[in-house]
């Protein structure tokens, strides 16, 4: 009797163990997902997004990301799980998101994301939220549904902006591209991607920096310096608040300036001083507008008129976004005047050759000095002196005026 009882108890224990194992294998309630399970979930979500399959996307979790990305021309979208932390019926996933914009990105944009998963009624995991990881910049669709306008030479994507407003940016960009190509005779893609968030705060979030860093800045360009030819497309990111204060001519100058950064990216690297990269972009932006130095360089004109002729070309630190907007303006204007001097004194082709020669050096030390000697046949000391005299003559200041010490 006792022996048969022990057999029956053992059989019940074995049956219970088998049932637990079967439930676990089926992913039922109480099951903790491993990284491989979560990776499969995110793979299904990515495929549904690329296939524009709303039903399949919703089966993996929250729909909000799908709606925001509905009109974005995605060529690729994938996640790579890097860490997983579970706590009961919730899980936190660290992942690397890679995506490409069709027709523009030659390589994926990669960014760190944090996803929260909740357990569904069937015991499986579902995506509850997908946000930028700590200290990572937002993507445009994190700010709301993206409106897309396609121009002849441009892709404009905006959040919280009307299609008519975004079409204005496409028109500006489509005029900027041929203007840049006319000045910069080195081949480039002749396409630009423009992001227009709703506000300054939205711009700052896309750049992962405080809004105060960009107050008064109409636009910036992000990209991979010294482009390898296989990289995500540069993004021109607009501050709609500052941009809205510009007149029609100013808006075009800014878009042409930023487009110049896109065109020259492959020849811009650690060797390139900011006075050259920013000055050249301004030179292309103002080229053909008829605006002279007194009008285009008002802060520098004021300084020179007061006898404060700069002693040296602007250094990189002068281009930092600080509370001194006038000093920042003088740095940009000084770089523009240096490039304008080269174009007038040595010719536009030599200006482009000088830019490329500086970048070809690869490192900062000796880059400008070598290019000045090889391309322009001058020295840093002689060029600086000529630049200072050029400021005086072009800004209607007596050549013999004594500069402030």
Q: Are 334 and 275 in contact (CB under 8 A)?
A: yes
Tokens of 339: 């490039």
Q: Are 391 and 310 in contact (CB under 8 A)?
A: yes
Tokens of 197: 């968030």
∠ CA 111-112-118, nearest 5°, is: 130
The residue count for the chain? 405
The CATH classification number of 269-405 equals: 1.10.390
pLDDT tens, 67-97?
A: 999 999 999 999 999 999 999 999 999 999 9
Given the DSSP bridges, would you call strands 235-238 and 192-196 parallel, antiparallel or unpaired? parallel
The CATH classification number of 35-136 equals: 3.10.450.50
Rounded distance between C-alpha atoms, residue 358 and residue 276, angstroms: 9
pLDDT tens, 106-157?
A: 999 999 999 999 998 888 999 999 999 999 999 999 999 999 999 999 999 9
pLDDT tens, 6-46?
A: 434 344 444 334 334 333 333 344 456 689 999 999 999 99
What is the pTM (predicted TM-score) of this model? Answer: 0.87
pLDDT tens, 203-222?
A: 999 999 999 888 889 999 99
CATH assignment of 142-260, among 3.30.2010.30, 3.40.190.10, 3.90.1150.10, 3.40.1740.10: 3.30.2010.30
* Domains in the chain: boundaries: 35-136, 142-260, 269-405
CA-to-CA dists, residue 72 to 17, 275, 288, angstroms: 50, 36, 35
Cβ neighbours of 56 (radius 10 Å): 15
């Amino acid at each position: 009797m006792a022996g048969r009882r022990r057999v029956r108890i053992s059989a019940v224990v074995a049956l219970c163990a088998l049932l637990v194992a079967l439930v676990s294998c089926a992913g039922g309630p109480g099951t903790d997902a491993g990284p491989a399970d979560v990776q499969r979930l995110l793979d299904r979500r990515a495929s549904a997004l690329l296939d524009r399959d709303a039903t399949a996307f919703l089966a993996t979790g929250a729909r909000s990301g799908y709606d925001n990305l509905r009109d974005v021309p995605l060529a690729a979208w994938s996640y790579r799980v890097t860490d997983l932390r579970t706590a009961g019926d919730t899980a936190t996933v660290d992942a690397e998101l890679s995506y490409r914009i069709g027709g523009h990105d030659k390589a994926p944009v990669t960014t760190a994301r944090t996803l929260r998963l909740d357990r569904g009624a069937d015991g499986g995991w579902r995506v509850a939220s997908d946000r930028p990881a700590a200290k990572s910049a937002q993507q445009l669709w994190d700010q709301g549904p993206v409106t897309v306008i396609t121009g002849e030479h441009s892709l404009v994507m905006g959040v919280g902006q009307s299609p008519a407003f975004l079409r204005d940016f496409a028109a500006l960009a489509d005029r900027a591209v041929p203007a840049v190509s006319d000045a910069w005779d080195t081949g480039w893609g002749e396409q630009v991607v423009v992001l227009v968030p709703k506000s300054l705060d939205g711009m700052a979030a896309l750049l992962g920096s405080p809004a105060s860093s960009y107050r008064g800045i109409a636009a910036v360009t992000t990209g991979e310096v010294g482009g390898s030819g296989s990289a995500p497309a540069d993004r021109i990111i607009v501050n709609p608040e500052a941009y809205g204060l510009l007149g029609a001519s100013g808006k075009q100058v800014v878009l042409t300036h930023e487009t110049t950064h896109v065109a020259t990216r492959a020849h811009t690297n650690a060797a390139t001083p900011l006075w050259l990269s920013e000055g050249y972009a301004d030179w292309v932006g103002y080229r053909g507008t008829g605006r002279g130095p007194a009008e285009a360089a008002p802060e520098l004109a004021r300084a020179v008129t007061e006898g404060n002729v700069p002693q040296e070309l602007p250094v990189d630190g002068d281009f930092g976004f600080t509370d001194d907007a006038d000093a920042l303006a003088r740095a940009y204007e000084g770089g523009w005047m240096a490039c304008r001097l080269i174009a007038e004194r040595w010719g536009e082709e030599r200006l482009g050759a000088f830019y490329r020669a500086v970048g070809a050096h690869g490192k900062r030390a000796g880059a400008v000095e070598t290019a000045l000697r090889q391309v322009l046949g001058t020295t840093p000391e002689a060029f600086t002196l000529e630049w200072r005299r050029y400021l005086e003559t072009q800004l209607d200041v007596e050549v013999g005026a004594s500069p402030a010490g």
